[in-house]
Amino acid sequence: MSEGGGLGGPPRASVDRLVAEVFANGAGAPDEGADPAPRAFARVSSLKSEGGVATELTPEEREALDGAKGRGDRLCRSELFGEGAAAYTEALRWARAAEDVAALLAARSGAYSSLSRSYRSRSARRSECAALFDLDPTSLAQMALRDATKALGLRPEWAEARGKLAAALFLLERFHEARDALLEGLEAEPTNTQLQASLREVQAVLAGDPDTGAAPEGAGPAAAGAGAGAAAGAGAGLGSPTGPAAASPAGAAAKRQRSLGAGAARGAIDDWDCALCAKLLFEPVTTPCGHTFCRECFARAMDHKPRCPYCRAVLHVARDALPVTITLASILSASFPEEYEERRREARGEGAHEAAAAAAAGEAGALGRSGSGPAPGAAGPGPGPGGAPAGPIVSLPLFVMQLILPGESIALNIFEPRYRLMVRRVMEGSRRLGMTQARRDDREIEGVCVEAEIVECQAQPDGRYYLELVGRRRLRILNHTELDGYRVARCEPLQDLTPAPGTPEHSALPELASQVAGQLDSILTQLRPLAAANGRLAGRVRALLGSLGERPPLEQAEKFSLWAATAACSLLPELPRAPLLGLTDTTQRLRALREAFGARLAAGGAAGGGCSIM
C-alpha cells in the first residue's frame, strides 16, 4: 500500500540506519575521479573500525588545511558556493583525523545545498537572458546528502551534521525524512535554535501552510509554500458529504471493521482510506512518488498545486493523466463490495451535481454578457479571449526557447540546471511540457504555447539530456508563475472558430485552402531537385521534406492551415510563429500563409533560401 493514509506520515524512519549503511559501504574502494573525500572517508572509517589513531599533520599540512577551509568559508559567505565547495575539496586532501574529515564534509554539504537553493531561486527571466551550465539542483542536493551522511557516520551525535542532512533531504523533497533528521538532531541538542527553526518550517510544509515561504538551511523555495489548497480543494470534492449517498468516515470504517474482523487494527482500516476525503479509495490512482488517492480527489488537488497532496513532491501530471490502478481497485471492490458500490453511487451523484452547476454557471454567464456583466462566482468553461472556445485548464512547465507548431518535431540539448530538474519531473509524470518563446517587453513570454510530448529522452554522462519532442496542440497561457527557476503556466486549449455553414467565410475556405496548397506545392517542387544533390543543403532539404508528414485533407481547414504553417515556418525562417499560433480564425491564417508564399514565389521561389531544420 502507499503511504497516503494521512498527513501524519509513516513511522519515523531511522536515519541512523541510512548512515550505518553508507558508513559500512564507504570504507571500501574510493569513488573514481579527483574528489579526495571518498579516500579520506575510507581512511578514517578504517582507522575507526580498527581502533587506530590518525597520524598528526605537520605544521605545513595543518596550515594548508586551515587555509583551504578558511578560504571556503569566505567564499560561501560571499555566496560563491561552487568555489567554496572546491576549496573544501582541496582541504580534504590534507585531512586525516575523523573530526577534520567530518567538519569538511559537513561544510561541503552545506555549500552544495546552498548552490542548489540558489539555482532554484534564480529567476526565470535572468536565466533566459544568461543561461547557466552546471549540475541540476537535484544532483547537487544528492551530493550534499552523500557528504552529510558520511559526516554523520564519522560523528553520529553531531547535531550540525543532522541539520545538513535535513537540508539535503528537504531539497530532494523527502520532507518526512528531513523532519526525522531534525528530530534526532534535537534529541542531541534540544536547545539548538537553528534546528528548531528548520523543524518548524518542515512541519509547515508537511501541514500545507500556504503562508510558509522559508525553508531550512540549504533548502529553498522548491518545497516551501507547498500549499494547503490541494487538500482543501480535494476535500470539497468527492469526499464532500453532499447528498444522501455520502457516508460518514466513521460509518465506513465500521463497515470495514466488520469485513476485516473485530480484531483488525485501526491502522489496517486506514490503509484503505484516501488521505484527502478520508473515505474508502474509489478509482484509485498512484502518483510517481508512490502515493494513492481517489482519482477525482487527486484531479481536484492538482487544480490547486502541482504537488503531491501527501508528501508535497512536485508533480507535472495532468489532472486526468494517471490511470486507475486496476489491481488495487479490484481488491477494494472485492473486499468491500457494498461500500465500494456506495462510493460509485456517490461519484455518479457528484458528477450530476457538477453538470447541473456547470449548466447553471453557463446560463448565468450568458445573462451577464447580455446584461450588466457576469454573475459573481460564475464558473465553468466559456469563451476565451478573442472568441476561441476555452477548454479544461491544464498546468504545464514551460521551456522558453522557441515556438513550435502542432505536429512539428524538435530536438533539444538540455544543459541548464533548471531545465534538467524540469525534465526529471516531467519524465516522472506526463512527459509533456509547453514550448514558447521570450519577448523583450513586460510580458516576458508569448501568450501562446504548444503542448509538446517527449518521445525520446537520453540522459548523457555529464548530466545533460537529449530530447526529441513533437508538438501536440495549441494552448493559450492564462497566467504563469515560477517554480525552482523555471516557469509553470496555467493554460487552456486554443481552437479556431468554425464559420457558420452558408456564410461567405465558410464558402470561401475550400478555395482559400486550395490556393495555399498550390503555392506550397510549387515551392516544394522547386526544392525536390536540391534534395537529390549532395552536400549540406541537400541534407537539410531532405530532412525538411521528410519532416512534413502527411498532408491533412483540405476539408479539415484548421488542421491543414496549421500543417501549412509548419511548412511555412521551416521554409521562411523570418515568418513569425506566434501570430499564426494565436489566430483563432482559420481564414485569417490561410490568408497570411497565402501572402507569405506569394511573396516567396514572386521573389524567385525557394531557390537560394535558407531552411531552418531543427
Return the CATH number at 289. 3.30.40.10
Residues 176, 34 within the same domain: yes
Average confidence score pLDDT of the chain: 76
Residues 477, 510 within the same domain: no
pLDDT confidence of residue 450:
94
Collapsed DSSP state (helix, strand, coil) of residue 311: coil
Residues 6+ apart with CB under 8 A from 159: 185, 186, 188, 189, 192, 195
Over range 360-386, report the average pLDDT: 40
Residues 203, 86 within the same domain: yes
The fraction of the chain above a pLDDT of 70, given in percent, is 72
With bands split at pLDDT 50, 70 and 90, how would you rate the model's confidence at 38?
Answer: confident
Cell output for 152: 554523520
Range of the domain at 276: 229-315+320-346
Over range 384-396, report the average pLDDT: 63
pLDDT reading at 389 higher than 80: no
Q: In a 10 Å sphere around its CB, with 0-12 CB exposed, 13-18 middle and 19+ buried, how is residue 529 labelled? A: exposed
With bands split at pLDDT 50, 70 and 90, how would you rate the model's confidence at 152?
Answer: very high
Task: Answer yes or no: is 446 within a domain.
Answer: yes
Residues 512, 557 within the same domain: yes
pLDDT confidence of residue 352:
53
pLDDT reading at 608 higher than 80: no
Domain end (from 148, 176, 207): 207
Task: Answer yes or no: is 365 within a domain.
Answer: no
pLDDT confidence of residue 53:
60
Return the CATH number at 185. 1.25.40.10
Residues 31, 177 within the same domain: yes
Residues 6+ apart with CB under 8 A from 384: 390, 476, 492, 494
Task: Answer yes or no: is 384 within a domain.
Answer: no
Cell output for 126: 535572468
With bands split at pLDDT 50, 70 and 90, how would you rate the model's confidence at 132?
Answer: confident
Residues 294, 410 within the same domain: no
Residues 134, 189 within the same domain: yes
Task: Answer yes or no: is 541 within a domain.
Answer: yes
With bands split at pLDDT 50, 70 and 90, how would you rate the model's confidence at 605?
Answer: very low
HSE, side-chain direction, 13 A CA sphere, residue 119:
26
Q: Which helix (H) or strand (E) covers residue 138, if one does?
A: helix 137-154
pLDDT confidence of residue 70:
95
pLDDT confidence of residue 384:
44
Q: How many domains does the chain have?
A: 4
Residues 588, 463 within the same domain: no
Over range 422-447, report the average pLDDT: 88
HEC string of 548-610?
CCCCCCCCCHHHHHHHHHHHHHHHCCCCCHHHHHHCCEHHHHHHHHHHHHHHHHHCCCCCCCC
Residues 181, 122 within the same domain: yes
pLDDT reading at 373 higher than 80: no
Task: Answer yes or no: is 61 within a domain.
Answer: yes
Residues 93, 164 within the same domain: yes
- Model confidence over 537-561: pLDDT tens digits? 677 777 777 777 778 888 888 899 9
Residues 301, 414 within the same domain: no
- Model confidence over 177-211: pLDDT tens digits? 999 999 999 998 999 999 999 999 899 888 875 44
Cell output for 356: 447541473
Task: Answer yes or no: is 471 within a domain.
Answer: yes
Task: Answer yes or no: is 579 within a domain.
Answer: yes
Return the CATH number at 472. 2.30.130.40
Over range 429-452, report the average pLDDT: 89
- Model confidence over 503-545: pLDDT tens digits? 888 788 888 889 999 988 888 887 777 766 776 767 777 777 7
Task: Give CA–CA dist 579/573, Å, rounded.
Answer: 14
Most confident of 163-167, 306-310, 403-407: 163-167
Helices and strands in the chain, H and E counts = 22, 8
Residues 148, 249 within the same domain: no
